[in-house]
A and B are shown apart, each in its own frame.
Chain A
Amino acid sequence: MTGTAVGFMLLSMALIWGGLGLSIWRLRRDAREVGLDDAADE
Chain B
Amino acid sequence: MNADQTVAPHAGTPREQWSGQLGFVLAAIGSAVGLGNIWRFPGVAYDNGGGAFLIPYLVALLTAGIPILLLDYSIGHRFRGSAPTSFRRLNRGAESLGWFQVGVSWVIILYYTVIIAWAASFTVFAATQAWGDDPSAFFFGDYLQLSEEVAITTEIAPTVLVALVLIWVAAIAILSLGVQKGVERANVVFIPLLVVMFGAIVVRAVTLDGAMAGLTAFFTPDWAALSDPGVWIAAYGQIFFSLSIAFGIMITYSSYLRRRANLTSTGLVVGFANSSFELLAGIGVFSALGFMAAQQGVPVSEVGGITGIGLAFVAFPQILSMMPGGPVFGVLFFASLTLAGLTSLLSILQVVSAAFQEKFGWSPRRAALLLGGAAAVVSIALFATTSGLYVLDIADKFVNDIGVVGSAVLTTLLIGLALRRLREMQTHLNNRPGLSLGAWWRFLVGIVVPIVLGYILVRGVLALIAEPYGKYPTGLLAWFGWGTVALIAVVAVVMTLLPWRRDVDDFVPETLPELTTSRKAAR
Contacts and interface: CB of A to CB of B under 8 A. Distances in A.
A1 B433 contact: no
Interface in B231-285: 258-262, 265-266, 268-269, 271-273, 275-276, 279, 283
B433 A41 contact: no
Contacts of A12: 51, 54, 219, 279
B6 interface: yes
Given A41-B17, A41-B259, A20 B276 contact: yes
B21 A16 contact: no
Interface string A8-42: 11011101110110011011001100101111111
B153 interface: no
Given A17-B276, A20-B273, A37-B260, A30 B17 contact: no
Given A41-B258, A41-B259, A36 B21 contact: yes
Contact of A31 (B6, B17, B21, B279): B21
Contacts of A16: 58, 272, 275-276, 279
B268 A8 contact: no
Interface in B15-49: 17, 20-21, 25
Contacts of A6: 219
A34 B433 CA distance: 7
B258 to A, nearest CB: 6
A36 B262 contact: yes
Contacts of B218: 5
A20 B433 CA distance: 18
Contacts of A26: 265, 268, 435
Nearest to A19: B272
B221 A19 contact: no
Contacts of B110: none
B470 interface: no
A16 B53 CA distance: 13
Contacts of A40: 14, 17, 258
B220 A4 contact: yes
A5 B216 contact: yes
Given A37-B259, A38-B21, A9 B219 contact: yes
Contacts of B259: 37, 41
B219 A30 contact: no
B154 interface: no
Given A30-B265, A36-B260, A41 B276 contact: no
Contacts of B266: 27
A23 B51 contact: no
Task: Output the residue of A30, A31, A39 with the most chain B CB within 10 A.
Answer: A30
Nearest to B268: A23
Nearest to A2: B216
Closest 4 CB pairs of A and B: A8-B51, A23-B268, A20-B272, A34-B433
Interface of B: 4-6, 14, 17, 20-21, 25, 50-52, 54, 58, 212, 215-216, 218-221, 258-262, 265-266, 268-269, 271-273, 275-276, 279, 283, 433-435
24 contacts: A4-B219, A5-B51, A5-B215, A5-B216, A6-B219, A11-B51, A12-B279, A16-B58, A16-B275, A17-B279, A20-B276, A24-B269, A26-B265, A26-B268, A27-B21, A27-B268, A27-B269, A27-B434, A34-B433, A36-B20, A36-B21, A37-B260, A40-B17, A41-B258
Given A4-B51, A8-B52, A36-B21, 17 more contacts: A1-B215, A5-B51, A9-B219, A12-B279, A15-B58, A17-B279, A19-B268, A20-B272, A23-B265, A26-B265, A27-B268, A30-B262, A36-B433, A37-B259, A41-B6, A41-B17, A41-B258
